[in-house]
Amino acid sequence: MSTADIRITAEPIDNGRCKFLVSETLHAGGGVRRFASVEEAQGSPLAEAIFAIPGADVAEVIVSGNLVTVVKGSPAPWPVVGKAVGQAIRAALAGARPAVAPKPVAAANASDDDALYDRVADLFERDVNPMVARHGGHVELIDVQDAVVMVRMGGGCQGCGMADVTLRQGIEALLHQHVPEVKGVVDITDHAAGANPYFAAAKK
């Protein structure tokens, strides 16, 4: 496949965050990699290239399957930064090395994250998922990296107009109460693909 065949769709969340949906898988295996610094990006060509975009002040790159989430500090608009991200994605897919290296087994915070993962998983099983199930939804705990929880929403939550309320006022609030060591929650859901959202936006 040539890089011209790779389709990338940008979905800005706000001026600081943007999701890029890619027609090809960037990080296989169902896992997720989060890079919070240039140092962490070393060894993963995609993350290295995105952190190197001039003037973007990239703060975070999260890769899961065919989804790349980029967080930047620069006020530069996404049309400018997004095109550079697209080039980075195409170059990484065309390269000889995997676009994203496997998660290091001996990461410095791995044991902390593993412990957090277990506690967050318990909370999801005990509280979060029974709650969202009442609206036909479910929330999958993808990973915990550097105390940041990554989730993917499904069912009635995927594409729901109130998904952000559920995420911030529900899930994040519960995490603060029960697992206060968690530093943040990142939603890697492809909400545009949600076929059965519980609340669909209908008003101008």
Closest-CA residue to 50 (of 64, 67, 38, 32): 38
Among 171, 182, 186, 188, the residue binding another protein under the rule CB under 8 A is 171
CB of 148 to another protein, least distance (A): 14
Among 45, 65, 155, 194, binds another protein (CB under 8 A): 194
Per CB under 8 A, contacts with another protein among 69-108 are 75, 77-79, 82, 86
Q: How far apart are CA 63 and CA 46, in angstroms?
A: 9
The DSSP annotation for 20-74 comes to EEESS-SEEEEEEEEE-SHHHHTT-HHHHHHHT-TT--EEEEEEEETEEEEEE-S
Minimum distance of another protein from residue 184's CB (angstroms): 10
C-beta separation of 195 from 159 below 8 A: yes
**Residue 202, burial from CB neighbour count under 10 angstroms (0-12, 13-18, 19+):** exposed
**Among residues 45 and 86, whose Cβ is nearest to another protein?**
86
Q: Return the amino acid letter for 178.
A: H
Task: Rule CB under 8 A: say whether 131 interacts with another protein.
Answer: yes
CB of 39 to another protein, least distance (A): 26
CB of 97 to another protein, least distance (A): 25
Give the one residue of 3, 10, 57, 181 binding another protein; rule: CB under 8 A.
10
Residues that bind another protein (CB under 8 A): 7-16, 18, 23, 75, 77-79, 82, 86, 127, 131-132, 134-135, 159, 161-166, 168-171, 173-174, 177, 192-197, 199-204
